[in-house]
Amino acid sequence: MPHSSRLAALLGFCLLAAPFASAASAETPTPDEPTPAYSSSIDRPSPAADEDASLPSAPQPQNAQSPAQTNGSAPNTPSSQTTPTKPEDGLSLGDLGFSTAQTQGSAQQQALLNKRTHMLKVHQTLGLITAVPMLATLITGPQAKAKGKNGQPITEPTTANLDTHIALGGLTTGLYFSTAYFAAFAPKVAGVKPKGAIRLHRDLEWVHGPGMILTPILGIMAYKQENAGEKVHGIASAHAPVAYVTTAAYCTAIVAVSWPIHLKFWR
């Protein structure tokens, strides 16, 4: 039977071709399924790496040393510089021997010092001003003196020269004792002794102080003798020498405490 033999041959062919078709379908991907991309074992992530990626990174400690610090070289950063700490138990003024009364300020003592400072500044200013008419009086002295020797005509000074000399002498005397007032009545600081230039300044007071008293007195005596038509004689003749010594001592006392001199009368 040719038809049955042909059917049997076709069935046998199908049975023989079935294993090859299944193998081909396993190796060839279908269009509906994506083709997996395989990489080498180096690029394939490991399960441990996937777990590390899902966890948050640990915070870095602030005092962690960098590689440069580990090798011995400290970087020039503000964090690497340490701030020195102060000792908790420092020495107090009491530990050094000062009492509480000595370390605390006193309003009364401060007011006393302020008054003393003010009066001494006025004393210094008036002292510099007094030196001007004093020198002028010394210069005009010879012009107010009668000239002439015994047995010769005496030339009397002019009224203008005499009045000028007397006016300058009176102005000098008034300014001098006003200056001395501010020094004498300025508040004193207990336990403070003058030294150096201040001591010299005060010692010279014993020279120009009496001189400022004697000079006007001797000048008045000399003036009366001249008005009586007499030659200046006796103790009145010491008027000029006393005036020179007084002026020299006074100017030395000023230079001792005021050099270099700064004329700032507006303060």
More confident residue, 104 or 237: 237
Residue 68 lies in a domain: no
- Residues 131, 250: Cα–Cα separation, whole Å: 8
Residue 147 lies in a domain: yes
Burial class, 68, CB count within 10 angstroms (exposed 0-12 / middle 13-18 / buried 19+): exposed
In sequence order, the β-bridge partners of residue 147 are 155
Please name the residue that has the structure tokens 């230039």.
Answer: 197
pLDDT at 138: 93
Whether 261 and 128 have beta carbons less than 8 Å apart is answered as yes
Residue 180 lies in a domain: yes
pLDDT at 253: 94
More confident residue, 51 or 228: 228
- Residues 250, 209: Cα–Cα separation, whole Å: 9
Whether 139 and 192 have beta carbons less than 8 Å apart is answered as no
3-state secondary structure of 214: helix
Domain range for 179: 108-258
In sequence order, the β-bridge partners of residue 155 are 147
Residue 136 lies in a domain: yes
pLDDT at 229: 77
Burial class, 161, CB count within 10 angstroms (exposed 0-12 / middle 13-18 / buried 19+): middle
- Residues 56, 49: Cα–Cα separation, whole Å: 13
More confident residue, 41 or 169: 169
Residue 11 lies in a domain: no
Burial class, 127, CB count within 10 angstroms (exposed 0-12 / middle 13-18 / buried 19+): buried
More confident residue, 32 or 163: 163
Task: Reply yes or no on whether the pLDDT at 65 is more than 90.
Answer: no
- Residues 145, 141: Cα–Cα separation, whole Å: 7
For residue range 73-120, what is the model confidence (pLDDT) as tens digits? 445 544 445 555 444 556 666 666 666 666 666 778 888 889 999 999
pLDDT at 117: 93
pLDDT at 249: 96
SS percent in the chain: helix, strand, coil, step 5: 60, 0, 40
pLDDT at 82: 52
Whether 134 and 205 have beta carbons less than 8 Å apart is answered as no
Give the DSSP per-residue string, 127-145.
Answer: HHHHHHHHHHHHHHTGGGS
Residue 100 lies in a domain: no
Residue 189 lies in a domain: yes
At 42, the pLDDT band (50, 70, 90 cuts) reads very low
pLDDT at 106: 73
pLDDT at 33: 47
Task: Reply yes or no on whether the pLDDT at 26 is more than 50.
Answer: no
At 126, the pLDDT band (50, 70, 90 cuts) reads very high
Residue 25 lies in a domain: no
pTM greater than 0.75: no
Q: Residue 258: CB partners within 8 Å, gap ≥ 6?
A: 124, 127, 128
Segment 212-227 shows an average pLDDT of 92
For residue range 136-186, what is the model confidence (pLDDT) as tens digits? 999 998 888 877 666 566 677 788 888 999 999 999 999 999 999 999 999
Split into its structural domains, the chain has a count of 1
Segment 220-245 shows an average pLDDT of 90
Task: Reply yes or no on whether the pLDDT at 44 is more than 60.
Answer: no
Q: Which of 176, 178, 185, 188 is nearest to 214 (CA)?
A: 176
Cis peptide before 260 (omega within 30 of 0): yes
